[in-house]
């Protein structure tokens, strides 16, 4: 992962961490369920965005290098990895 992407992901993770702590406080304070659900949805959206950012970086770096490389086993391995990610996310 390049340093710019890494820094952005770390900042987003720190934000999500704070958000999750806020959700925990909401639950502890017995706040309205729908408000809690909305905050959970916001965290899920943030995590999905990070997943997209990391995948984009991976496709433009590791996968591109493997596809352009001379090692057919490595090419197949990265394709299998990507297919595995899609299989997990589409469950």
Q: What CATH number is attached to the domain comprising 70? A: 1.20.58.1000
Tens of pLDDT, residues 47-81:
999 999 999 999 999 899 998 999 999 999 999 99
* DSSP codes of every residue in 29-65: TT--HHHHHHHHHHHHHHHHHHHHHHHHHHIIIIIHH
Number of domains in the chain: 1
- Does 7 score more than 90 pLDDT? yes
What is the reported pLDDT for 90?
A: 80
Tens of pLDDT, residues 25-53:
999 999 999 999 999 999 999 999 999 99
* pTM of this structure: 0.82
57 Cβ contact list (under 8 Å, min separation 6): 1, 2, 5
What is the reported pLDDT for 22?
A: 97
Give the domain extent around 40.
Answer: 3-89
Per-residue pLDDT band at 2 (split at 50, 70, 90): confident
């Amino acid at each position: 992962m390049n340093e710019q992407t890494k820094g952005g992901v770390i900042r987003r993770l720190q934000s999500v961490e704070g958000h999750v702590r806020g959700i925990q406080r909401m639950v502890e304070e017995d706040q309205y369920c729908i408000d809690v659900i909305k905050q959970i949805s916001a965290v899920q959206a943030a995590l999905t965005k990070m997943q997209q950012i990391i995948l984009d970086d991976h496709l433009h770096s590791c996968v591109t290098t493997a596809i352009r490389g001379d090692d057919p086993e490595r090419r197949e391995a990265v394709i299998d990895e990507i297919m595995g990610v899609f299989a997990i996310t589409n469950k």
